[in-house]
A and B are shown apart, each in its own frame.
Chain A
Amino acid sequence: MTIRRQILVAAAATALLLGGPAAAQEVKGEEHVLPNGMKLLLVHRPDEPSVSAGWVAKVGSANERVGMTGISHLFEHMMFKGTKTLGSKDPKRDLEIIEEQETLRGEMRAEESKMRAAWRRGEVDDLMKPENKTARYKELEAKFDALVKEQRDLLVKNEFDRIYTKNGASGMNAFTSYDMTAYFITVPKNKLELWFWMESDRLKDPVFREFYAERDVVYEERRLRVESTPTGKLDEAFDSIFWHSTPYTWPVIGYASDVANITKQQADDYFATYYAPNNLTAVLVGDFDKAEALKLATEYFGRIPRGKTPPPEVTTLPTKWEYDLRFEGEADTNPTAEIRWRTVPFQHKDSYALSILAELLNGRTGRLYKSMVLPADAVATQAYAVHNGFVGPAKYAGSFVIGAEAKEGQLPPEVAAKALAEIERLKKEPVPADELRKVKNNVAANSFRRLSSNFPILLQLMVNEAYGDWTEINSGPKKLEAVTAEDVARVAKTYLVKENQATALVSRKAGSAPSADDAALAEVPEQVRPMIKQALQQLAAEKDAAKLKEGLAQMETQAAQVPPQMKKGFELLVTKARERLAELEKAGDKK
């Protein structure tokens, strides 16, 4: 085959090419630690006339506990609410109002406690409904709202954002994940001092104004991302099963009732522990003078006192289960199958082979696509594989994920079986050298691509630093390059086994498929389509499993005699009959 030879030769050439530039692309970071424990990482890149700047707090939802889940993410919102200097026309009165609000909130919490007790007794349903609140609570709420109004009149809304925008900065944002909370922006190179001033101000003297209003915004964010999406709640449930006994079992955005009950006192304590300089790393990437940056960092970040108590270490280690956990659900979505395995965390010696393994399976050139999507008897329309996804949970535990969306007419269990067959093949047959070479070339080219401008470099440095080591940006590509075919087979045999495995099978909620049958029918020759369509309708209405089973057995014995123009339609009928039978049997089991 000419094409194969062409790839082999070219792949060798690419490997040579990558050897040179890859070495030249090393990120040269200069690390400093200020006396208060804050870490500073400087990367000088004169290519672009701006500086991408950020800092990462080594705290995320993994550091939370039930009862205050979502606090890390809420904090990300609160950090934009201003400081003693920014955000209020009358900072003195503003602080007084916050005090008064807290006193009222204390009384409101006592009422909330009574309301929850009533809920446990079954006297009221949804605690958010106005009619379920006590008379005293409503009275307090009115007083509280009056204070909020007074505070609003004093606010200089979003002064933080306004000042940056005015200075031509852009891309100000932040994110929270399981293992980190990061804040970043890109500023023109002559605005570096402004960045130090602004960021040190909000770390030193933050004021959590509008704390309770921001909780409501987060509540809406939860509705948008979780409750209004077809699979949001299902994904959350599968995550919690898969990650049980690890600090990743609750969602980053938090449980709804936790978000609604986080107190300002909890927020203050959390800030004092996790946003102390000794738990932060600031990173600058771009065109600046390093000595000047160090001087500014000492002057501005140096003002923040070290935390009184060091952040407690996360000590939970994942337990092993000894069975294939199964999760089944229905949603207004295409049928899918996803299989996950518990693997290893960031920088574990086996994590590199697992990443290469994922790439062998992933994408349009990957094995899953070639075996599940491309062939004539394809079972899926899309397939994917990933090991410890970017900013995913990875500091304390790891995950290997494969999955696919079922092609119309295919059921999730069949899709899962086909995907698993590829994993088994990887355990038994060594990966051919050219295939491994090709995947490694692509991995290397991708890591270059991420080094092509300031912002993606900043992002990777912050993420790696939060996981535990920013130098991964330089050492990781070399370790990926060193992975052998034997490593791939070994990690597949070690980790991708039933004892670590959880499978989610999601089927379509009945009645939510507008064009499903039409799509499959489109492949049936036109002359027989009406006949097949009618038979399909009868099939969908069939309620007797035994009768259907008999009919199906009969069809299967006739399979060989079917004339060519009927073949597609016949196959469709058999598939649909099997599906219907599975549904009926499942319904029968439940009774």
Chain B
Amino acid sequence: MNAPDGLPPLGEERPVPMPEVAASRLPNGLAVQVVPWRGVPLASARLVVRGGLSDDPSGRPGLARLLAAALREGTASRSGADLADLAQEAGGDLSAGAGPDSLTIGAYGLAARLPLLLDLVADVARRAAFPADGVARARHLAHEELETSESEPSFLAVRAFAREVYGTHPYATIAPTAASIDAVTPGLLAAEARRRLRPERALLLVAGDVKPEEAIAAAGNAFGDWAAGGSAPPPVAAPAPTGGPRRILVLDRPGSVQTNLMVGNLGFPRTDRDARALELAMTIYGGSFTSRLVQNLREDKGYTYSPGAAASWLEGCGTVRSFAAVRTEVTGAALNEVLYEMERMATTEATDEEMDRAFRREAGSLAIALQTAAGVADELARLWVLGLSPDEIARFVPGLAEVTKGEVRRVSGRVFGTGSARIVAVGDAAAIRSELGTFGEVVEGET
């Protein structure tokens, strides 16, 4: 493609600057990383603990989320309201959350109040008290969130897809159930907090207008005498491959004007040698506005406003999935195009232009993500959970530049096979059932 008249010339790609990271480890095993960042007088402290939903005991789906929600409800010496007031007084807030592979407790505020921010995080991590009224409140909120989520077709599709791909593996759970919410008690949460929150499986990240040596000393004050009892949960196992023929799960949403489609399968861990090639493949396939899936489904056919695709990176093994909310009448036609684009990725090479564009987009996005302290901290937390060192930031773009078209095609062959794809369609079953039947075995499930 020739450049349009008058277009200023394309400049050289500039390297992504590696942010300064001071790493240390306390004697109790707690890893500490500090990202000094000048500019505004703010700082954040977050404790990332390995194991999230993946650590939930069988029969207690989504417990990690309930645990995170109840953590802020009070500690041995402070009520939930006191914790919130103190965080506000430091000019910020206190948060807790759970993902598939981690639990996070964070606080942000004025840099001058870093000792208080660290004290709040440590207090919650080490001495959460799970008062009965706070736990009841967390349960109510969890019920409400679940009900709100269940009224959204996109949530139903994501939840069903995880179950289809992961089967009995803990990653099959993305949210608690009504029964598992009801079953939560203060005693259970206290035992889980003791079992999971331990220095040797945690990283403390401090980012902002702080001096590394001072931040590390403050971390020592807040966490130095933190010790865990009993044994830590084992690392997450790899999920079993799905195998078998293609399967289409239909969840009925009578009268729905759109069908939420989700198509995909297992991917692989981020430590795999093909990980960078997969990043590029996803950008070319469905991860950007000029990607094949968006061009085909939205721009060419006008079936949908929001098609896309993504690879999720999880410690055990993530997924590779395509998604789109399409008009009910074109459900079959849209699925046909998704499968076609997947096959095309797996069997033909990308063009030089696609490769170049995907590379520049990935490199540019990383450079911009690393322009704020919060962006750097997010990236470091992600890498740590996946078992990668901070140096990966500096290695990423040069590594990406070496990926060849052949590698992109090879990795596409690994993840875009449509023969055993798992497909979820949430929509008006009566209107879409028979059309979808032409693509494989249709199973109907409960929403």
Contacts and interface: CB of A to CB of B under 8 A. Distances in A.
Contact of A165 (B6, B179, B290): B290
B178 interface: yes
Contacts of B242: none
A518 B372 contact: no
A252 to B, nearest CB: 15
Nearest to B178: A515
Interface stretch (A92-100, A372-380, A498-506, A582-590): A372-380
Contact of A227 (B82, B116, B257): B257
Contact of A408 (B82, B143, B179): B143
A158 interface: yes
A85 B361 contact: no
A197 B4 CA distance: 11
Contacts of A161: 289-290
A392 interface: no
B139 A190 contact: no
Given A21-B41, A167-B11, A441-B91, A519 B139 contact: yes
A11 B363 CA distance: 43
Given A408-B143, A438-B88, A47 B39 contact: yes
Interface in A445-463: 445, 448-449, 451-454
Contact of A17 (B112, B146, B178): B112
B109 interface: yes
B102 to A, nearest CB: 23
Nearest to A374: B81
A166 B147 contact: no
B141 A381 contact: yes
B89 A10 contact: yes
Contact of B40 (A218, A224, A452, A514): A452
A580 to B, nearest CB: 20
B168 interface: no
Nearest to A167: B10
Q: Output the residue of B140, B179, B371 with the most chain A CB within 10 A.
A: B140
A186 B178 contact: no
Contacts of A334: 144, 147-148
Contacts of B110: 14, 17-18, 445
A157 interface: yes
Contacts of B8: 191, 193-194, 197
A445 B133 contact: no
B404 interface: no
Contacts of B363: 168
Contacts of B368: 50, 170-171, 186
B82 A188 contact: no
Contacts of B204: none
Q: How large is the interface on A (under 10, 10 to 19, 20 to 34, 35 or more residues)?
A: 35 or more
Nearest to B185: A522
A519 B138 CA distance: 12
B183 to A, nearest CB: 8
A200 B49 CA distance: 49
Given A50-B371, A169-B364, A378-B137, A444 B4 contact: no
B402 interface: no
Contact of B361 (A3, A170, A186): A170
A307 B361 CA distance: 36
A522 B86 contact: no
A167 B380 CA distance: 26
Contact of A3 (B82, B90, B256): B82
Contact of B89 (A21, A166, A441, A512): A441
A259 B82 CA distance: 51
Nearest to B365: A170
A223 B258 contact: yes
Nearest to B181: A519
A168 B13 contact: yes
B50 interface: no
Nearest to A1: B82
Interface string A78-113: 000000011000000000000000000000000000
Interface string B26-48: 00000000000011111000000
B360 A168 contact: yes
Interface in A179-207: 186, 188, 190-191, 193-194, 197
B152 interface: yes
Contact of B85 (A7, A172, A218, A453): A7
Given A50-B371, A188-B364, A523 B136 contact: yes
A372 B371 CA distance: 40
B272 interface: no
A407 interface: yes
B116 to A, nearest CB: 8
Q: Output the residue of A188, A378, A445, A453 with the most chain B CB within 10 A.
A: A445
Interface stretch (B218-226, B292-300, B408-416): B292-300
A48 interface: yes
Contacts of A444: 91
Q: Output the residue of A48, A152, A163, A522 with the most chain B CB within 10 A.
A: A522
A448 B42 contact: yes
Interface in A137-173: 152, 156-159, 161-163, 165-172
Given A333-B148, A519-B182, A449 B40 contact: yes
B325 A191 contact: no
Interface in B178-205: 178-179, 181-182
Interface stretch (B59-67, B301-309, B339-347, B435-443): B301-309
B92 A445 contact: yes
A102 B1 CA distance: 29
Contacts of B84: 363-365
B273 interface: no
A427 interface: no
Interface in B75-103: 78, 80-82, 84-86, 88-93
A407 B258 CA distance: 31
Contact of A157 (B81, B116, B299): B299
B153 A522 contact: no
Contacts of A378: 137, 140
B382 interface: no
Contact of B182 (A86, A157, A376, A518): A518
A442 interface: yes
A190 B288 CA distance: 23
A230 interface: yes
A236 to B, nearest CB: 15
A316 interface: no
B92 A365 contact: no
Interface in B310-329: 325-327
B151 interface: yes
Contact of B305 (A18, A224, A370, A513): A224
Contacts of A514: 147, 150, 178
Nearest to A453: B372
Contacts of A317: none
Given A514-B150, A522-B182, A224 B258 contact: yes
B305 A332 contact: no
A228 interface: yes
B22 interface: no
Contacts of B300: 152
Given A50-B367, A228-B153, A228-B325, A14 B91 contact: yes
A217 B302 contact: yes
B141 A167 contact: no
A21 B113 CA distance: 14
A464 interface: no
A484 interface: no
A313 B313 CA distance: 52
A451 B40 contact: yes
Given A381-B141, A441-B88, 8 more contacts: A86-B4, A161-B289, A220-B325, A220-B326, A220-B327, A381-B137, A515-B182, A516-B147
12 contacts: A49-B14, A165-B288, A166-B10, A170-B365, A188-B11, A220-B258, A221-B306, A332-B151, A365-B85, A408-B140, A514-B178, A519-B178
